[in-house]
Each structure stands twice: as C-alpha cells, then as structure tokens.
Chain A
Amino acid sequence: MPKRTDIHKILIIGSGPIIISQACEFDYSGTQACKALREEGFKIVLVNSNPATIMTDPEIADITYIEPITPEVVEKIIAKEKPDALLPTLGGQTALNTAMKLKEMGTLDKYNVKMIGADYDAIKKAEDRDCFKKAILKIGLDLPRSEMAHNMKEAERALKKLGLPIIIRPSFTLGGTGGGIARTEDEFRKTAALGLQNSMTSEILIEESILGWKEYELEVMRDNKDNVVIICSIENLDPMGIHTGDSITVAPSQTLTDKEYQKMRDASLAIIREIGVETGGSNIQFAISPEDGRMVVIEMNPRVSRSSALASKATGFPIAKIAAKLAVGYTLDEIKNDITRETPASFEPTIDYCVVKIPRFTFEKFPEAKDVLGISMKSVGETMAIGRTFKEALQKGLRGLEIGHTGLDNKQSYKDISDEKIKQRLEEPNASRIFYVKYALQKGYTIEEIHKMTDIDLWFLENIKEIVDMEKEIRKGHGAGSKKPGKRKKQNLDTATLLKAKQYGFSDSQIAELAGSTEQAVRGYRKQHFIKAVFRLVDTCAGEFEAYTPYYYSTYETKDEAKPSKNKKIIILGGGPNRIGQGIEFDYCCCHASFALKELGYETIMVNSNPETVSTDYDTSDKLYFEPLTFEDVMNIIDTEKPDGVIVQFGGQTPLNLARRLEAAGAPIIGTSVKSIDMAEDRKKFSKLLRKLKIAQPESGSTTSVTMALKIAKRIGFPVLVRPSYVLGGRAMKIVYDEDSMLEFIKEAKEVSGKHPILIDKFLEEAIEVDVDAVSDGDITVIGGIMEHIEEAGIHSGDSACVLPPHTLGDDIIDTIRKYTHAISKGLKVKGLLNIQFAVKQNKVYVLEVNPRASRTVPFVSKATGVPLAKIAAKVMAGKTLKELGFMEEKKPGHISVKESVLPFSRFSGVDILLGPEMKSTGEVMGIDYSFGVAFYKSQIAAGQALPKSGKVFISVKNQDKRNIAFIAKKLEDMGFEIVATKGTHKALVANNIKTEMVGKIGEGNAKILDYIKEGSIKLIINTPSGRTSQSDSRPIRNAAVMRGIPCVTTISGAQAAVSGIEAALKKDFQVKSIQEYLK
C-alpha cells in the first residue's frame, strides 16, 4: 500500500529534557522520523522543549515549537497549526502520555487530528496494567501472578494473596519511578504508598517476584498489512530485578535454544496484534525461569524506546525511520533496506557479531544515595560495544564507559577485597557488580558459586572466567615464543598469545599492565608483528548481501573491510556515553560539525560509542566507526583512514583529554591548537595570560600537594572553590569554608583527576555569573551569545538557569565582557569555539573559566539566536574565515530565551536537592517569549516545575536573605498567595507588614509543614538554607517537595525570577510561536 493521501500535516511530539530513562535516543528517533516524513512530502510540525536536540534545529521540521510539552500547550499548537495527524510513538513516554491526555481532553476530536502509528485504544491496552493483563491472558500467554491496587487497602489484600518478596509497579510512569521490590511488610507499605503517588492514575500493580529469572527483550515492527518482523533480540546479563536500562545487555540472545527463542517470537507477534499497535515498532519484555522454562510477559512499550535505539545501532536497521514510514501507510516490503539497497525492509536482521550495552551511572554525584540497583532506573547514559565475541565486546564496552577502566581490568586488586564484601557486592545488585564477578573469580570462586549469588547465567560467567584465565596467560607471558618464562616483559609475550588477548578484547594498556610493559611498547610490538585491528561492517545480513553503508567496528581477524578513500576527510570524535556534565549538547555539536564539513565537500568520519545519539546514526556522517573513545581505539582508526583533520573540540572533555596524545602520535588535530587548549586548562599558564591581558580573575592557586593546598587556601582566604583540573561538570568540585572540609575534599578531588593538579579559587559570594559562547577564526572573534545566570555564582553553570540576552546587567558591564572575550580569544589563538564563564561582583568583571571547545550552551545559543555556531566553528577549523562565512557580527535577537536545567533528584531518594558547584542536572529546557517573565514561566513548565497561580507558598530563608525576601513575599501576597513561614522568616516578614502563618521547625518536633506538603496545599517552596544544621533541618521539606513535584526554589535570585514568571502568567495567558517565526 503506498503512502496515505488523506493526511498532509503531521504533528510530532518530542520527549522534552533529558532525564534518567528518557535520553537522547528520542532525539535520534524523532530526527529520523522528521527526515523520513519530509522526504515523503509531509509537512511536519514538531514540539519539543529541549533546545539541545538536533530535531529542534530549524531545518529539521517545517514548523518547530520549542515550547513546554504539556497537553495544554500542545493544544494551543494544534489550534494554531491544525495538523491532520499526530504521531505519538517517537517521543518516549512524554509524547505518549501527552497524546493520551489530548485525546481524553477531546482536543484531537475537536480539531479532527488522527493518531497514527498507535491509536488511543492500543496505547491504553499496552500501558494500563489491568487492560494489558487481560489482553495477554486472552491470547493464552502467561504473566507473573499479580493484583491491581488503587489504595492501600487493596494493596494489603494483594500482599496476602501473593506473599513476599513482591514487586510494586506503578502504572503510567517513566522508567519505573516509584516502583520497587519489597522484601519485608514494612518495605512493602512504603513502596506501595510511593507508587500510588507516582502513578498518573493512582494505580499500582503488585506482582509475584520473578527475581533472578532470565530477562529478554524483543524489538518488533508491524505494518498496516499485518506483516510483523523482529528486528533484534536482547538478553540481559543482569537477570530480572534490575531495570533493563540499568542492566548490562547483550544482543542477540545467547543462551536460548531456537525452540525457546521462537516461542518468544510467536508470543511477540501475538501480543503486538492483540494490543493493536497498527504500525511501527514496539518493545516487548519477557522473563524465562531458568529452572523450568516458564515464560512470562513483563511489559510492552507500544512505541519506539531506548531499546529500539540500541537495536537500531546493534543491527543497522533504522527502526524509527521505518516506523515513521509505516505510520503513513507504507508496508515493509515497499521500503528498501538502506544498507543493502537491494533487499526490502521486510526481513529480520541477522548479525555476525556480539553487541554489549553497559549502563553509565553517576552515583559519585549523589554520595548520599546507595549505588544499589532495582526496578527503578538510575543510570544516566550507556555505551555500546561491538565485537566478534562477547568477551571482546564486554571489554570494549567497559573501556568505552570512561569510568577509568581499561577493560575488565585490575584497577582494584582482588587481594584487598574481603569475602564478605564479595558476597555483599554480588548479592545486592549494584553499579560495579561486573567487576566484583571478576574479583570473585580471581579469588577462586567457581562460576556456579557466583551464579548462586547473582543469578547471572553461567554462560556469561564462563566467558568472564575466560577473560580472567587469559590474564594469567598474559601475565606468564608463556607460549611458543617465550624464551624466559616468568620474566614479565612484553618481549616474552608470544604473538599467538598477544593475538588471542586482542581477540578477547584486551586493550594495549591492560596488556601492558599485566605484562609489565607500557601501552606504547605493546602498541609498537603489536604493529611490528602485524597484529592490527581490522574493521568489519555492520550490514544487517551477516555478509549475505553487499552493504553500502559504511558502519564499522574493530576486531582482530584476517580481513579488513574498511575502504579508506582518497577524499579529503575529517574525523570527528564524539563524546561517548552520556553522563551528568557531558550529554546531548556535545553530540549536537558533533553532528553539526559533520553536517558543516559535508557542506564544504569533506568526507566526514564519526567516532562514538553511544547508541542513543544522532551522531551514531549511520547517515549522519559519511562513515561511522562505533568504537570506544580511547587513545588506542581512535589511533587504530586514524592509522587506517589517514584523515586530513581530527576534531577534538566538539565531543566534550572526552576527546579533549585525548588531544595531546593523539597529536604526539601524529594525528592532525585541527582548530585551536593543543598548546592553546593546554594554556586554557593549565591554571598557571592561564593566569599568566590574564595578567598580561589585565583581566581580573578570582585569586587562585594550583598544587598537587596537600600542605600547599592548605597554604594557598589560607593565603586567598575562605571560602574557596576546590576542584581537579581536566574534568567536566564540576565533578568533585566544592565550596569549602574551613580547613577541615578542605582536607576532606582534596582527598576526593585527587581520586578524580589522577595526575592532574587540584585547583583552588577564591569563591566570589553573591556574584552574578555570565556565560559567553564565541567563535574565532584566529583573526577575528564573534560572540554567539551572552547568557546571564539566574542563580548566583557558586552554582554550577550547568545547573543554573540562564537568560539570553542578559536582563539585569548594565551595558558597560556587557561591553567589558565583550572586550575580555575578544582579548582572551586572541591571547589563546582560538580557532573554533570558545566558552568563557565570567562573574560580576560589585560591577567588576572576573573571569572564572575558559574552555576553548564546544560548550554545553552552544545548542541553546544557536536556537536563541538562529546562528548555527557549531557549524560555523567546524568550517572555521577547516580553514574558512568568518568573513567568508558571512558571520561578522554578534546577533542580538528581539526575543528573550531562558534555559532551565532539569534535575534527577526524584530518582535518588535521600539526596538533598540543593545546588552547588558540582553539576547534577541531566538535561535542559528552553522557554522563549518577548518578556522575561513569560519566558521564565514557560521554562519552568517545561522543566516540570510549573509555577502556581494561587495557593500557599512556604518561605524559609537564611539570615542574609531576610532583607531580600520581603520584597518577594510582598509581591506574592499582592498576587493573592497565602504565605507560610518558619519562625525567623515569619518575624522578618511580619516586620514588613506581610501576613504569614508561622510553622515550627521540623528539628523542633513540628511536622505541620510536612503535612501541608503531603496534603498538597503548598504550591511553591522558597527555601535558602545556610550552614549544615539548618540544611539538614529543611531537607525533609525539600525532599517531600521533590517527590510530589512541588516547585522548590533554593536561591533568592531564583525566587525573584519565579515571581516575575507568576506575575507575567497572571497578567495574560501566554502564546505559542515557532522558532522559525522568532528567527524570521
């Protein structure tokens, strides 16, 4: 059936900010869908609040709304655009939930908008636990025994029926928020109550425990002629009980017989048909009992998911693109497989390699949270690795994770780990369990013993054991070529052992460590003996057909399939797995570099290991190497491709950290020189430069010794900001007020940065922070955007809201900032992007930090101004001048753009939500309008912190803020809010004639405020805590607020902005406007 002709204009809803369980995989899927449907001649209207996405680039959709994704706002867009259809299956749970709400509100019927892909009934059937259960039983499939509960009474009844341990899953939530495993009755009551609160429909499923069962996922596609194919099967290494997003997963399934697999395939086909997902992709999860083979259905996502992104990258089959085409009427046999060109999309990909996905956690950012894993997702990113064996893929994945491991290495010695610790780390699933499996094997545990403790399938354990055994072989350096056994020298390693080690995925540095050599020596020795990485194709068909899409991974075999061309070419190094501090913004920049260089006629080659991204889409660049971003892996590609340039500026700190070694090894780094990068990152050299330029900087020092650190701190005076150099996202960065805390933090900081020194800066209290993004061609520098932070200096720029253009700074200050930017750019001989963070205190401008690379704010600036900064920078790096590119002048938009960050606190119970110099946010949203108030108000809605228009506001501020709060409280009172305050704040407000209700402090045994929060009467919380005791006193308040989604402002400047926002919203309902209109 050819495409539908009854629809012309399609609304696509994106997934909003990056949060845990909903990351850039939906940028990837949405972008693919927009491109595919526009190719077919449809007009695409897109809404997404996340400016860091490729899909919100003005050229991806026809009409792009960077507006909050709520049913009310999307209704405004529908009223304005009148689309014929809504495609809800490509923007994650956010899009699905919004679409469902729009249907329920009657909006879709009112404007005659059809849901395509999956309709209301199908989504309801898949998402509503009760409906889903009925549907599954109807087709004769099995589920874990379960009961629904809508209140605690029903929950208790279910507990009696099913017994402990027991699983609680709330309906209609993301990533299992609020769900959990209960082993005691007490745990059960807590989790059930939380689940009821978190569910959009106050509904929880209480389920028999199938902990430890084997867990599988199938990616299914269906067209409107009822043709169904399976794209990929995935087996979880971590068995049931750990969220699949937090599990190490492997494709294809490894330990099932064909009969068992086909049973699951049959079930998937039956399920997608019964649920009624008309077209597109779905993800279905199963569990199989390792004892008796009983198979149960866990859940189904009637949409493109994180696993679909993984399945797409793992097989080469573009699920989102095909799903979009199916949604508009095509059938699978009418669509060609891009990779083989000849064969149709109506086949099942078969692969001839093993894919391992490993989640990336950031528990180190939330030291109060335990790194225990369960059914609520905690990881913030993932890396994928491809190898010809599981062992190879696992080790590549572990080094691609960028958490300081070079593979399944010996960063920690097993000898230092007690048996108790082993037992505890194996039995309780956690972020580093895979390494403990190894330590246990090294300590002599058998795979059967480890299986008993972890339920990890013996096949995986056996493979890990083979890695451990291989280590022994390398250590011995034994084998045919070995003359002096026992002597740990690389020369002792015979080539057969070395080749085997490489085939097992060992990195050169791992081998060096085991054989007592250096990475460089191993590399040299390897090359000398022609043990070189070869590149193989990801071709969807295991070599059966010729493949045209150059998508490669490395391995150690005989035939190299890479076909380096003679073209002018540039390699772009990506950012690896998402983490807090390095996320989608950098992937955005890498993609733009690729697009820009293609425009200049270069062949572009992308290197990245993150399956969620647009950069790892096979048609973003001319070639894609899906590889870990380590020196060894990147040099293998450089040796093969011999590029004319390598770009390290765009992928965040990951490639930047490789720059020096790559250059030393002869890689042609283009753009700002490695020397300049070093000058900007090296405090001493940089201070010297600033002194020369006569630009002020907070007093500072750097050292690697503890005594020196204390001396420096005393010299410049507390409070000081301490942090390690060469890290991103303010990792291990703290403001310290005294000597004791200083010592504590130095210790932590040193662990993070290794050989690099610790930096100590004077902390400027209550300064306004300003971010500047600029681009330079080495000759002239043009500012892309100046952003004023809403929160004061001291809060990480990645966590702070900011506004472009600045809204409180005077022209003279802004001029100084411009002047400094130009001077620094010149001083550093920047060629490409430059980001500077300034602090303004008492009208004096200080430079806090300079990053001669793409910054987190580049996409936001580009969306706010319409200037494609990253593209311009890439072209400059390739030799163009800004004059040639026609970008000579800073663009000053007439509208106001606010960026707000989105924080993951609701995922980490017990973690305080206070902001500080260490970045904690996972994503960002953007609000645009012609007034600051409205733009800010929009940004808060988009961030899920919708500001109230009436109700009670709770205020509790520290002493310094008591003067400033009066003005804010007065305004709130004038707007009709009731004010509730703690004693001190109450006194201050009453003195200013503001009526308040006083509540006692929790520390004094008064929990009235918590009751208010629980009953939902408090609509906004303004709480600026000071000192440690007061912090712990107000912590339960903030935590209660986060768990219930009550907006909680923790700074005075934030409160001021909130008041402006509320004021604007009360005045007039806001309008929606596409960025194409704003940028006209």
Chain B
Amino acid sequence: MKAFIALEDGTIFEGIAFGAHGERLGEVVFNTSMAGYQEIMTDPSYKGQIVAMTYPLIGNYGINRKDVESSGPKVAGFLVRERSRIASNRLSEETLDKYLKENNIIGVENVDTRSLALHIRTKGAMKGIISTIDLDPKSLIKKAEESPGLIGRDLVKEVTCKKAYNAKVIYPVPSAARFKVVAMDFGIKRNILRCLIDNGCDVTVVPADTKAKDILARDPDGILLSNGPGDPAAITYAIEEIKKLLGKKPIFGICLGQQLLGLAFGGKTFKLKFGHRGANHPVKDLTTGKIEITCQNHGFCVDIDSLNKDEIEITHINLNDNTLEGMAHKKLPIFAVQYHPESSPGPHDSRYLFKRFTDSMSTYAKKN
C-alpha cells in the first residue's frame, strides 16, 4: 500500500507502507545507527517522533524479546529504505513487519531516506505526517503544519510509569545490592536499569511527577534522572522537584535527565537544528582527555553559556559540534551526561559512568 510522508515545509516523500496502516503525526528525525533498530523503536525518548533510519537495510535480523528498551515500540512512525522480507538471526522471534503490525505502528519502506536526512540536515527537524489513507499532498501538508509539534509539549506523561516499581521485575538482580537508587522515570530505557543493577544497585523506578519528599522518604543512596522524550522546558513539575533534591543525595542525569538538571541549575535549554541521533558521536571526557564513541538521541541541549561556571563544571563535550555533553556540580555529588552511557544500541565506551555514579554514592555515604 502506498504511503506519503509530508513535512510542514511542503516536502513530500513517497513509499510503501508496512506494519500498521492509517495516519500518524510526529516530528520527523533521522538516526544514523547501522544496527539496533529494535532498541531505537522501543526507546521512549522517540515518543512523538517519526524516525527515519539512514542505514538502508532494516529488519535483517528480525525482532527478539530481549532487545527491547521498553514495553514496546514508541516511535510514531518508522521510515526505511528497504525492509527485509525475512528475519535471519537465531535470536529472532518475528519479522519487523509483524512486530509493527501487532503494535499498531506505521512503517514505510522504499523511502529515499538519504534525501530525507539531507533535507532535515539542511532545514532542521520538522513536523510531519505519515498517511496511508489520505494521499492528497496538500491536505497532508496542512495537517503537518497544524500539528502540535514538540516545543512546549509534555510527552513524558505519556511514557512514564503509572506507579513505582522495583527494577527487579524486569531484570533479576544477581547479588545483594549495595546501593539503593531511585530512578525518576521520564521514559527510562531498560538498559539503564540493567546497567545500574550490574553495578550493584537496587533500583526503584518512580513516576515522573513523584514529589521530592516522597523520593527522599525512600532513603535512596542516589537518584537517577532518566532519559525521556520532548521538550525539557515543558516538564516544569519535575524541574521544581529536582531543585528540591539538589544537595540532598548524589544525582546522575542521563539525556533528558541532564536537561532537567540544567534547568534546575538555572540554565537554559535550546532545540538543536536536527538533533543528535546515532551511535557514532565522539565525546571527549574533559576530566580524563579520553574520547568515547557514544550513543545519542536528543533534539534539545543545555546551553553551555547559560550555566553558572562558578558552580557547574563542563565535563564532556561533543567533538563534532562542541555542544555540551556532560556536566558536574563543582561541590555537590551531581553529574549528568547528554548521551546514553547505557548505549543500546551503540558502543559500550561510556559504561564507566555508572561506576562513577556508584563511586559518588559510596563517597557520599562515607562522608555522611
């Protein structure tokens, strides 16, 4: 079945639908990872986004239950150049097509995804629509234009957990945990939980709107601020609570977590032209001089200049565009990164950050 992708600037891309049929709105972005489509589709940070994969051959190794980053696919739509007809991997349980159909997600293949990526690179990420039912370009462009977009929108509430739970319901905890961590779920990726567990943490995941006092009441050794979708500035309720947590416990922020921390520190965030989405971004750890190849997925970023340099230290920068990739409080045990140390998909170069987090919890515990 034919499908159209219309962008708010009037550009139309054509393809053939797979997975579900219908019509979906979303911000159109591209991801340059060559593998890991399943992790990408299920990353809650993609809520509200139509993701185009620049690698043209997708679905080759199928779908398996282990490689999900949340309960199911979160993307608003999925665009590829060529979808594999078969799933060829011993781990595979079903094909990409079937998976999207089951989860009511529209996939489109035969899309010239390179042209789409070049367009977005030049014009910026923009609002768009996929449709298999309305093939009138004018009408689609209008719908795209009139769609709400991401700015100022709280998408976190759509992906956060409804009530608190212990991460062991997802991953069995192998040994007695040494640290109690509360993770604020803004759309947390499961691999963050796994990495924390692997580092000896007992993790309680709490909804995004949990009050600071309720978090502290759980008496954690540290607090994790998770990744999540959309505009950080729209999550005012969380920013307010995070402010109350500063100085109370060691805090580690990842992605949206860093942005919320930045705002809580009094800084500003801005929207990148087309974001960073891929598994090959070089980041330099300014504290060690080492370079790590990172997995990234963010459209917003903390403005380096907006941070109070007396209090906040820049710890990581992106070597491609020199944007902020990590920061730490100079006095308090609080640090954050803009990229994904839990990767999934992507390189494992940054896993040391989880150790850094447990170290900061140890040190803090000893001091207090």
Q: Which residues of chain A have a CB within 8 Å of any CB of chain B?
A: 225-227, 229-230, 252-262, 265-266, 290-293, 332-333, 342-344, 346-354, 388-390, 447, 457-459, 462, 466, 536, 541-546, 557-559, 561
Contact A262 B347, CB 8 Å, known A343-B319, A354-B56, A390-B57: yes
B residues in contact with A466, CB < 8 Å:
85
Complex: how many Å from CA A290 to CA B347? 23
Cα distance, A544 to B291, chains bound together (Å): 20
Subset of 11 A-B contacts with CB under 8 Å: A252-B34, A259-B66, A266-B348, A292-B90, A350-B280, A352-B32, A354-B56, A458-B86, A458-B88, A462-B85, A559-B114
> Is the pair A348, B320 in contact by a Cβ cutoff of 8 Å?
no
Complex contact A462–B86 (CB within 8 A): yes
Stretch of B181-189, B204-212, B259-267, B281-289 that contacts chain A: B281-289
Whose C-beta in chain A lies nearest to the C-beta of B81?
A: A388
Chain B interface helix/strand/loop/mixed: loop
Given A542-B117, A543-B114 in contact, is the A389-B57 Cβ separation under 8 Å? Answer: yes
**How many whole Å from B265's CB to the nearest CB in chain A?**
28
Cβ contact within 8 Å between A257 and B91: yes
Q: Is the CB of A543 within 8 A of B67?
A: no
Instruction: State in angstroms the CA–CA spacing of A15 and B349 once bound together.
Output: 35
Proximity bits, B101-121, A CB within 8 Å = 1, else 0: 000000000001111011001
Near A by CB (< 8 A), chain B positions 1-51 give 30, 32-36, 38-39
Known: A349-B280, A459-B84, A543-B121. A261 touches B90 (CB 8 A): no
Asked if A225 and B290 sit within 8 Å, CB to CB, the answer is yes
Q: Which residue in chain A gives the minimum CB-CB distance to B64? A: A257
Question: A293's contact among B90, B121, B280, B344, by CB below 8 Å, is which?
Answer: B90
Q: Give the residues in chain A near B258, CB-CB below 8 Å.
A: none
Q: Given contacts A333-B284, A343-B320, is CB(A536)–CB(B278) below 8 Å?
A: no
Interface mask (B47-86 → A, CB under 8 Å = 1, otherwise 0): 0000000111100110010110000000000000110111
B35-A351 in contact (CB<8A): no
> Is the pair B114, A536 in contact by a Cβ cutoff of 8 Å?
yes
Residue in contact with B54 in the complex, picked from A226, A252, A348, A543, CB distance below 8 Å: A543
* Other-chain residue from B35, B56, B88, B281 in contact with A261 (beta carbon distance below 8 A): B35
Q: Top 8 nearest A-B pairs by Cβ distance?
A: A258-B36, A258-B345, A459-B88, A542-B54, A348-B280, A543-B117, A559-B115, A542-B32
Classify the secondary structure of A's interface with B: loop
Bits for B157-198, please: 1 = Cβ < 8 Å to A, else 0: 000000000000000000000000000000000000000000
Contact indicator B55/A347 (Cβ below 8 Å)? no
Bound-state Cα–Cα, A557 to B14, Å: 11
B293 / chain A contacts, CB cutoff of 8 Å? 229-230, 347-348
* CA–CA, A290 and B92, complex, Å: 12
Contacts of B257 in A (CB 8 A): none
A324 and B30 alpha carbons, distance in the complex (Å): 34
Cα-based distance from A1075 to B64 in the complex (angstroms): 62
Residues in B neighbouring A226, C-beta threshold 8 A: 290
B55 touches A542 (CB 8 A): yes
Alpha-carbon separation in the docked complex, A845 to B282 (Å):
67
Nearest residue, chain B, Cβ from A349: B280
Instruction: Indicate which residue in B55, B85, B112, B320 contacts A351 across the interface (CB closer than 8 Å).
Output: B55
Residues on B with beta carbons closer than 8 Å to the beta carbon of A292: 90
With beta carbons under 8 angstroms apart, the residue of A347, A352, A354, A546 that contacts B320 is A347
Q: How many Å from the CB of B155 to the closest CB on chain A?
A: 24
A354 vs B293: C-alpha distance when bound (angstroms): 22
Q: A229-B293, A259-B67 are in contact. List 14 more A-B contacts (CB 8 A).
A: A227-B291, A332-B291, A347-B280, A347-B319, A350-B33, A351-B55, A352-B54, A388-B82, A389-B81, A459-B84, A541-B32, A542-B55, A544-B54, A557-B114
**B314 contacts partner chain A, Cβ-Cβ < 8 Å:** no
B61 touches A257 (CB 8 A): yes
Contact A352 B86 (CB under 8 A): no
Q: Are A545 and B114 also in contact (CB < 8 A) when A262-B346, A354-B56 are?
A: no
Contacts of A265 in B (CB 8 A): 347-348
B139 located at the interface, meaning its Cβ lies under 8 Å from any Cβ of chain A in the complex: no
Docked pose: A532 CA to B107 CA in angstroms: 27
Number of interface residues of B (CB under 8 A): 51
Contact residues in A for B279 (Cβ distance below 8 Å): 258, 348, 350
Smallest CB-CB separation from B37: which chain A residue?
A: A258
Whether B343 is near chain A, meaning CB under 8 Å from some CB there, is yes
In the assembled complex, how far is the CB of residue B64 from the closest CB belonging to chain A, in whole angstroms? 7
A462–B55 Cα distance when bound, in Å, is: 19
| Residue numbers in A under 8 Å from B85 (CB-CB) | 462, 466
B89 touches A (CB below 8 Å): yes
A255 to B62, CA, bound (A): 9
Which chain A positions have C-beta within 8 A of B91?
257, 293
Residue numbers in B under 8 Å from A229 (CB-CB): 293
Q: Which residues of A contact B117 (CB under 8 A)?
A: 352, 542-544
Query: Using Cβ atoms and an 8 Å threshold, which residues of chain B touch A343?
Result: 282, 319-320
Chain B positions within 8 Å of A543 at CB level: 30, 32, 54, 114, 117-118, 121
Question: Smallest CB-CB separation from A265: which chain B residue?
Answer: B347
Which of A258, A262, A466 has the most chain B CB atoms closer than 10 A to its own CB? A258
Q: Inside 8 A of B282's CB, which chain A residues have their CB?
A: 333, 343-344, 346-347
Chain A's nearest CB lies how many Å from the CB of B123? 13
Given A347-B281, A459-B88, A462-B84; A353-B32 close (CB under 8 Å):
no
Alpha-carbon distance between A543 and B38 when the two chains are bound, in angstroms:
22
Residue from A257, A261, A559 in contact with B38 in the complex, judged by beta carbons closer than 8 Å: A257
Point out which of A290, A348, A354, A389 has the most chain B C-beta atoms below 10 A from its C-beta.
Answer: A348
Task: Give bound CA distance, A389 to B110, whole Å.
Answer: 11
By beta carbon, the residue of chain A nearest B278 is A350
- CB neighbours of B34 from chain A (8 A): 252, 350-351
CA distance A544 to B30 in the complex (A): 9
- Interface 1/0 per residue, B132-154 and A, CB below 8 Å: 00000000000000000000000
Q: Which residue of A lies closest to B319 (CB)?
A: A344
Proximity bits, B350-367, A CB within 8 Å = 1, else 0: 000000000000000000
